[in-house]
Amino acid sequence: MSVEFKMPKLGESVTEGTVGRWLKQPGESLELYEPMLEVTTDKVDTEIPSPVNGRLLEIRVNEGDTVPVGTVIAVLEDSSSATVAAVAAPAAPAVTSQASSNNGGGNSFMSPVVARLVSQHNLDIKQIAGTGKDGRVTKQDVERFMAQGDAAKPAPMPMPTPTAPTPAPMPVIKPSSTPAPMPTITGSLLAKPVAYTPPATPAVPSIEPFVGDELQPLSGMRRAIAEHMVRSKATSPHVTTVMEVDLSTIIAHRDQHKADFERQGVKLTFTPYFVQATVAGLRAVPIVNATYTDEGILLHKSVNVGMAVAIPDGLIVPVLHNADEKSLLGLSRTVNDLAERARTRRLTADEVKDGTFTITNHGVSGSLFAMPIINQPQSGILGIGAIQKRPVVVTINGADAIAIRPMCYLSFTFDHRLIDGATADKFLAIVKQQLEQFA
Amino acid sequence: MAELNLLEAINQALDQAMANDERVYIIGEDVGQRGGVFRVTDGLHAKYGSKRVIDAPLAESIIIGSSIGAAMYGMRPIAEIQFADFIFPAFNQIISEAARMRYRSNNTWEVPLVIRAPYGGGIHGALYHSQSIEAFFAHIPGLKVVAPSTPYDAKAMLLAAIDDPDPVLFLEHKKCYRLIKGYVPDEHYTVPIGKADIAREGSDVSVITYGMMRHYAVEAAEMLAKEDISVEVVDLRSLVPLDRETILNSVKKTSKVLVLYEDNLFGGYGAEIAAIIAQDGFEYLDAPVQRLAGLDIPAMPYSAPLENEFLPTPSKIADTLRDLVNY
C-alpha cells in the first residue's frame, strides 16, 4: 500500500517547512521511526522519522525547496499494514494554499494592479468574486468590492488595548542619534506602495571565482539569516544609541548569589540580569515592545525577550516567553536551558517564535559595542558589550576621583519609524539605571 | 475657421509660414508647377515663385543634403519626400548629418529643417507607396518625429516644426489626406511637439496609437460603446519626443492597454511603448500589454482583400479590445 507523506507541522504557528536533506533515496527501505529527512523551518532543523515499515518510493519536493505544511513531499510504500499515523497525520488542514482561494476553484492569478490594491487596502482576495478570465479577480472586481463599503471589508487586525499611554506624537528629537526623516519620493509618475516587497529575483552581479576558490553551498539557516537581515534593513530605518553602564552592583550581587543558585542546580550568568533590566525598560516605555504596521503601531501585551545564541554555523534566537513574569532564578533556569538546547539544536519551533524584543550579547566574544540588526517584526534590539575594567571618574563625598570599575557599553538599535531618539534614550536610561541600582 | 481636410490644413500652414518668414522655402519632387503629386503645395509656386518652391531632381539625398546645408546657414527649408517609401536614399543625410549636427558641433550649429513625408497604406499603394517608416527614424536621438492625424493638429504641428530649431520628420498619413476633415482656425497657431492627445476618453481599456489608426481606434471605440465597453484612445501625435505621462496616466486609469500601429509588428514603434508601460506601469496593469499591428510580411499587398488582411481594421481592433476587457 502506498502512502502520501506530507510536510509535517513543526510547531503551533508554523505554516511551511523547507526540505533540508533527504536521508533516504527513492527505492531505499525504511524502518518505522527511522530518520527519513531533515526539515528546516525558520530557525530549527528537525529529523523526521519514517511513519512506516517499507520503502521510499518517490520524492516530490527537492532539497532546499519550501512548501506549505500539508504538501505531499514523498510517497512511501507501507509493507506492514500497521501504519503509524501519528507523525504525518495532523498536517493537512492548516494550509490555505492558492488553489483554495478565490471563491473556491476560481483562477488564483493576481495581476500586478490587483496584487497592489489587495496589499494596499489590506483586502482578502478570497472574499472578492472574480469575473475575469477563468474566474480571475480583475481590477474592476476589486474596485467594486471596495465600493460596497465598510460592511464588506474584512475585520481589521485585532489590536490589543494599550496598557500605557503612547508617547506624545512629536517628542523633541536628539540630533545626535536621529537622522533626518527620509524625504518622500516624488520623482516617479506612479506612486509606489508603502509596504516593502523584496524583488522576486534580486539582481546579483555575476562573480567570477578566482582559481582555487571553493563554493560552499548555503545552508537553510544561512539563507534564512541572509534573507532576514536584508529584509530587516530594508524595512526599518535603523538607528543605534549607546550608553555606558557600571556593573559593580551586578557583579557584587552575582558573586554573592552564585553559590546559592548553584545549590539549586542553576548556573548564574549575567544574561538574566540584562533580561530583567530590559523587561523594566520595556514596561516603562511600551512603544519599544511594539510593531510598526501600516494600520498603526501594535503594542504587544506580552514581553517575550529573544536572546541571540551563536552556534557553529549560524545564529539562533530562542525566546523567553513572558520574561516579565519570571524571577531571577526562573529566568536563569530558562536562559540556560534555551541556550544549551539552542547550541545542540534541540529547540522546538515555538521556542523561537513570537519574540517582541531581542538581546544580543556580542560582548562574549570581546566586542565593545556593535550596531545590531533588528529582528523583524520587532522594533528594537539591545546589544551588550564586553564587561571591561576601566578607569572612570567617580565623585565620592563631593570629590572627583579616578576609580576602576567594571564597565560595559549597551547599544540599542531601534526602528525610527515608531521610536524617536528621545524615546529610545529614555528606554536605554532605564535599562542602565536598573543595572546600576540593582537590588 | 473653416472645415478643411488634412491636406488643405497642411497647405494653409505652408502658405502662412512662407508669408510670415522669407527664410522658409519648399523643395521636393513635383512640388512646384505641379503642386505636388497629392496637391499639398498647390498654388504656392504661383504665389511665391520658383526660388521659394523648388522642383528638385529625382534624388532624395540631394533634396535633404542641400536642405541641411541651407538650414545650417539660416534658411528654414521644408523638404518634401514624395512618398516616405523613397526616403531611404536620404537616410544617411538624415541620420548621420541632420540628426547629429548639434551634438557633433558642440552645440554651435543647428539644422532647423522640416522633412515632410506622406506615409502609410490602405490606399492601394502596394509595395512602393504604403510603407510606415517611423520605426527607423524614431530610433535616432537628435531627430524629432511627429505624425499628426487631424487637420487641426497637422496645421499646428507643421507650424511648430517650422519654428523648431532642430530637424523634424513630419509624417502625413496618405489615407488621412482627403478622408479626415475638421475645423481649422484661420490664424497662425501651434501645438507643442511632445504632447499626446486624448482622442476619446474611456475607463475600461486604453488604445495607444497614432496616425490613421487613431481614427480606426475611435471607430472601434464607438462600436464597443454600444456593448457598454468604455475605450480611451490616446493619439500620440508626437513620436519623438514622447509624452510618457499621458500614456502612463491612461494605463493607471484603465489598467488594460492595446498598443496599435500600422507598421508591421516586429520591432515596430509600438514595441517601445509596450516596453515603457511594462517598466513604468507594471503595478497598474490588470492584463498583459497587447499589440495589434501590420503583418510581418515584406510589404503591403496591392489587392484590396489582402491589404485589409495586412492592416489592423476597426473590427480587428474591436475584437482585440473585447478580449482585453474580458481578460
pLDDT band at A101 (very low <50, low <70, confident <90, very high): very low
pLDDT, averaged across chain B: 97
| CB contact set of A420 (below 8 Å; sequence gap of 6+) | A167, A171, A173, A178
Amino acid letter, residue A34: E
What gap in Å lies between CA B134 and CA B190, rounded to an integer?
Answer: 22
Q: Do B327 and A138 touch (CB under 8 A)?
A: yes
What are the helix and strand counts (H, E) for chain A? 8, 18
> DSSP characters for A120-166?
HTT--GGGSPP-SGGGPPPHHHHHHHHHT-GGGSPPPPP-PPPSSPP
Contact A305, A283 (CB under 8 A): no
Q: Do A111 and B286 touch (CB under 8 A)?
A: yes
Contact A421, A178 (CB under 8 A): yes
Contact B5, B11 (CB under 8 A): no
Model pLDDT for residues A312-358, shown as the tens digit of each residue: 778 889 999 999 998 999 999 999 999 988 888 888 888 888 999 99
Residue B118 has pLDDT above 80, yes or no: yes
Residues in chain B with CB shorter than 8 Å from the CB of A139 are 255, 286
From the CA of B211, how many Å to the nearest CA of chain A? 26
Model pLDDT for residues B56-80, shown as the tens digit of each residue: 999 999 999 999 999 999 999 999 9
Across the interface, of A113, A132, A136, the residue whose CB is closest to B284 is A113
**How far apart are the two ends of chain B, measured CA to CA in Å?**
45
What gap in Å lies between CA B244 and CA A61, rounded to an integer?
Answer: 45
Q: Report the 3 state secondary structure along chain B.
A: CEEEEHHHHHHHHHHHHHHHCCCEEEEECCCCCCCCCCCCCCCHHHHHCCCCEEECCCCHHHHHHHHHHHHHCCCEEEEECCCHHHCHHHHHHHHHHHCCHHHHCCCCCCCCCEEEEEECCCCCCCCCCCCCCHHHHHCCCCCEEECCCCHHHHHHHHHHHHHCCCCEEEEEECCHHHHCEEEECCCCCCCCCCCCEEEECCCCEEEEECCHHHHHHHHHHHHHHCCCCCEEEEECCEEECCCHHHHHHHHHHHCCEEEEEEEECCCCHHHHHHHHHHHHCHHHCCCCCEEEEECCCCCCCCCHHHHHHHCCCHHHHHHHHHHHHCC
| Strand ranges (E), A79-125 | none
What gap in Å lies between CA A275 and CA A18, rounded to an integer?
Answer: 32
Contact A83, A3 (CB under 8 A): yes
Q: What percent of chain A has pLDDT over 90?
A: 39
Model pLDDT for residues A41-71, shown as the tens digit of each residue: 766 778 888 888 888 988 989 888 888 888 8
Model pLDDT for residues A121-176, shown as the tens digit of each residue: 888 888 898 888 888 999 999 998 888 764 444 444 444 443 444 444 443 333 33
Residue written as cell 555575476?
A206
pLDDT confidence of residue A438: 84
What gap in Å lies between CA B191 and CA B203, rounded to an integer?
Answer: 26
Residue A99 has pLDDT above 60, yes or no: no
SS3 at position B153 = helix
Residues in chain A with CB shorter than 8 Å from the CB of B327 are 132-133, 136, 138
Measured CB to CB, residues of chain A less than 8 Å from chain B are 111-114, 116, 132-133, 136, 138-140, 188-190, 192-193
pLDDT band at A103 (very low <50, low <70, confident <90, very high): very low
pLDDT band at A250 (very low <50, low <70, confident <90, very high): very high
pLDDT confidence of residue A204: 57
SS3 at position B250 = helix
What gap in Å lies between CA A357 and CA A336, rounded to an integer?
Answer: 18
Range scoring the smallest mean pLDDT among A71-85, A316-330, A380-394, B260-274: A71-85
Residues in chain B with CB shorter than 8 Å from the CB of A133 are 326-327
Range scoring the smallest mean pLDDT among A180-189, A324-333, B98-107, B307-316: A180-189
Q: Do B326 and A132 touch (CB under 8 A)?
A: yes
Contact B113, B94 (CB under 8 A): no
Q: Do B248 and A189 touch (CB under 8 A)?
A: yes
Active site residue A416: yes
Copy the grid coordinates of residue A153: 471589508
Residue A180 has pLDDT above 50, yes or no: no
Across the interface, of A111, A136, A192, the residue whose CB is closest to B285 is A111
Amino acid letter, residue A110: M
Residue A100 has pLDDT above 60, yes or no: no
pLDDT band at A201 (very low <50, low <70, confident <90, very high): low
Residues in chain A with CB shorter than 8 Å from the CB of B283 are 112-113, 116, 190, 192-193
Residue B49 has pLDDT above 50, yes or no: yes
pLDDT confidence of residue A10: 76
Amino acid letter, residue A117: L
Model pLDDT for residues A2-15, shown as the tens digit of each residue: 888 888 877 766 77
pLDDT band at B261 (very low <50, low <70, confident <90, very high): very high
pLDDT band at A82 (very low <50, low <70, confident <90, very high): very low
Q: Do B283 and A133 touch (CB under 8 A)?
A: no
pLDDT, averaged across chain A: 80
pLDDT confidence of residue B289: 97
Contact A410, A363 (CB under 8 A): no
Closest listed residue to residue A109, CA positions, set A127, A124, A122, A125: A125
Residue B106 has pLDDT above 90, yes or no: yes
Q: Do B286 and A113 touch (CB under 8 A)?
A: yes
pLDDT confidence of residue A159: 43
Count of CB pairs separated by less than 8 Å, A with B: 42
From the CA of A142, how many Å to the nearest CA of chain B? 11
pTM over 0.80: no
- Residues of B designated as active site: 129
Contact B99, B167 (CB under 8 A): yes
Across the interface, of B204, B248, B327, the residue whose CB is closest to A133 is B327
Q: Do A190 and B281 touch (CB under 8 A)?
A: yes
pLDDT band at A185 (very low <50, low <70, confident <90, very high): very low
pLDDT band at A81 (very low <50, low <70, confident <90, very high): low
Model pLDDT for residues B139-164, shown as the tens digit of each residue: 999 999 999 999 999 999 999 999 99
Closest listed residue to residue B172, CA positions, set B40, B55, B25: B40
Model pLDDT for residues B222-253, shown as the tens digit of each residue: 999 999 999 999 999 999 999 999 999 999 99
| Strand ranges (E), A374-432 | 380-384, 388-396, 399-415
Amino acid letter, residue B61: S
Residues in chain B with CB shorter than 8 Å from the CB of A190 are 248, 252, 280-281, 283-284
Q: Could you tell me whether strands B257-264 and B205-209 are parallel, antiparallel, or unpaired per DSSP bridges? A: parallel
